[in-house]
Amino acid sequence: MNGAVGVRGDLWLNAAVLARGLEIAAVAGGWTCLMGASGVGKSTLGRMVAGLPVAARLEGVLRVPEGRVALMGQSDQLLPWASALANVTLGARLRGARPDVARARALLADLGLAGMEDRRPAALSGGQRQRVALARTLIEDCPVVVLDEPFSALDAATRAAMQDLAARALAGRTVILITHDPLEAARLGDRAYLIGAAGSRALPLPPGPVPRPLDAPEVLAAQAALFAALSGTGAP
Ligand SMILES: Nc1ncnc2c1ncn2[C@@H]1O[C@H](COP(=O)(O)OP(=O)(O)OP(=O)(O)O)[C@@H](O)[C@H]1O
């Protein structure tokens, strides 16, 4: 298996196989998208890479480089009683380290949340909460980052802006992006896999560095091809 993060083998849930014959090699220092039907095990694989407990088991090989892995999940998972700033610095405080408050403020400002540092999650919109969660992920400075549908709750314009921000902020990291959005994969993926019960296969992506422009013809063509592959209406 090449790449910084790799998965090979069969994923089982109790006595049933979720996905057989997985062959996933993430791009070291780039973005690798995991796509596929609901329930096939994408979040499970993301949690395994992050070293978190899962219900399923992998019969095969999971390779993750040394060092911490950051995971940003489908829901923002912010502490409701803590301010945006306190949520961003939570990891350091949990580890007993001194939180880098200046960096947390800078990240929040970079994500368009200047002036909202003291607000609790209930006083933020869904998109603002996701941005706080992204800042909390970014401040960890982990070489490997798993993003599990991080932008799925956002409106289209905010989602595109967040994709740009995340691509800039995570440049050089190894990113595993779990997404159902063909346009997101076409913009952000250096490599993409379709995961199904019968295994994983690479999907076609446009050339060029990420994030790719939303309206580039090759991005829109890839979006259509990915959609066809996901819906089973065309060969990738
Ligand atoms: N804690 C759990 N206990 C038992 N089964 C679980 C648990 N978490 C997930 N599963 C099951 O494991 C399988 C894989 O779930 P997973 O969340 O990885 O799928 P997914 O591909 O990410 O789906 P989605 O696209 O809907 O998020 C599903 O069948 C799910 O019901």
The pLDDT of residue 10 is above 80: yes
Span 10-30, mean pLDDT? Answer: 95
pLDDT of res. 3: 47
The count of other CB atoms within 10 Å of the CB of residue 233 is 8
Is it the case that residue 236 has pLDDT exceeding 60?
no
Provide the ipTM. 0.95
Bond before 211 cis per omega within 30 degrees: yes
- The Cβ of residue 94 has, within 10 Å, a number of other Cβ atoms equal to 9
Ligand 1 binding pocket (C-beta < 6 A) is 13, 18, 38-44, 55-56
Pick from 127-131, 132-136, 182-186, 197-201: least confident:
127-131
Q: In this predicted model, which residue has the larger pLDDT, 218 or 154?
A: 218
Q: Give the pLDDT band of residue 153 (cuts 50, 70, 90).
A: confident
- For the segment 194-204, what is each residue's pLDDT rounded down to a tens digit? 999 999 999 99
48 or 74, higher pLDDT: 48
CA of 45 to the centre of ligand 1 (A): 10
Ligand 1 atom 29: the closest Cα is on which residue? 39
pLDDT at 110: 86
**Which pLDDT score, from 0 to 100, does residue 233 have?**
60
pTM of the full predicted structure?
0.91
Residue range 68-122, pLDDT digits in tens: 899 998 777 899 999 999 999 999 999 899 999 999 999 999 888 999 999 999 9
Residue 146 — very low, low, confident or very high, per pLDDT cuts 50/70/90? very high
pLDDT at 235 exceeding the cut of 60: no
Ligand 1: nearest atom to the Cα of 46: 18
41 CA: nearest ligand 1 atom: 18
Closest residue CA from atom 4 of ligand 1:
55
Between the CA of 44 and the centroid of ligand 1 the distance, in Å, is 6
What's the pLDDT at 161? 87
Counting ligand 1 atoms within 8 A of each CB, the residue from 44, 75, 148 with the most, and so the one to mutate, is: 44
What pLDDT is attached to residue 1?
47
User: From ligand 1's centre to the CA of 3, what distance in Å?
Assistant: 25
Alpha carbon 115 to its chain centroid, in Å, reads: 27
Instruction: Name the pLDDT band for 54 (thresholds 50, 70, 90).
Output: very high
**What is the predicted pLDDT for the residue at 234?**
52
Q: What is the mean pLDDT of residues 146-151?
A: 92
